[in-house]
Amino acid sequence: MTDTYGYARVSTKEQKEDRQLMALCKMQVPKKNIYTDQQSGKDFDRPMYRRLLKRLKEDDVLYIQSIDRLGRNYEEILEQWRVLTREKKVDIVVLDMPLLDTRRGKDLMGTFLSDVVLQVLSFVAENERKNIRQRQREGIEAAKLRGVQFGRPRKPLPDNFELIYRRWESGEISGRKAAELCGMPVTSFCRIVEEWKEEEQKMA
């Protein structure tokens, strides 16, 4: 007996898969047969996808809204497509790309066209993933140049820090004592001292 399944994926918990679920429901995929992952598409090590893969059997139909919901890694998308269609012998329907419907064109030409379209779209999906990462890196670098700090915000320095710093610098007190007077670990005091020295050199 042929069963229909659906697969949806979002990259983070903050994103919503509502649009994908609505598209799958329109295809009358039973809710119990819809599997959803909240995980990056860089690989296929996803719990719900793995569970879906175990349930699929020959002649079942798998619906996905778009090829990038299946994944974003070019080589792995092609490998999973091969596993699904040739090993599991499952039909795949990509809803936003009618050419990627393995129920149609079972002849040699139909298979050839489907494979070509798949390779092009898989390449585009991976290329977009790389572009996103590049844009993120460029955005972070630009933000750093503007003075934006990333990570946990630093605690404000105590009011007496400069006085203690000068006492330490003149050798009046040890680094351990200076850190104690500032109420911070020795490592933090040393790090901040190095930053102060760099700032003083820039202003000299």
Return the percent helix, strand and coil in the chain, to nearest 5.
55, 10, 35
Using alpha carbons, list the distances in angstroms from residue 123 to 15, 49, 120: 24, 21, 5
DSSP state of 147: T
Q: Is 188 a catalytic residue?
A: no
Q: What 3-state DSSP class applies to 12?
A: coil
C-alpha to C-alpha distance for 119 and 178, rounded to whole angstroms: 63
Contact present, 6 and 33 (Cβ < 8 Å): yes
Considering 11, 40, 66, 188, which one is annotated as catalytic?
A: 11
Cα–Cα distance for residue pair 17/37, rounded to 1 Å? 9
State how far the Cα of 45 lies from the Cα of 26, in Å rounded to an integer: 28
- The 3-class secondary structure across 121-136, one letter per residue, is HHHHHHHHHHHHHHHH
Alpha-carbon span 176 to 184, nearest angstrom: 10
- Could you list the active site residues? 11
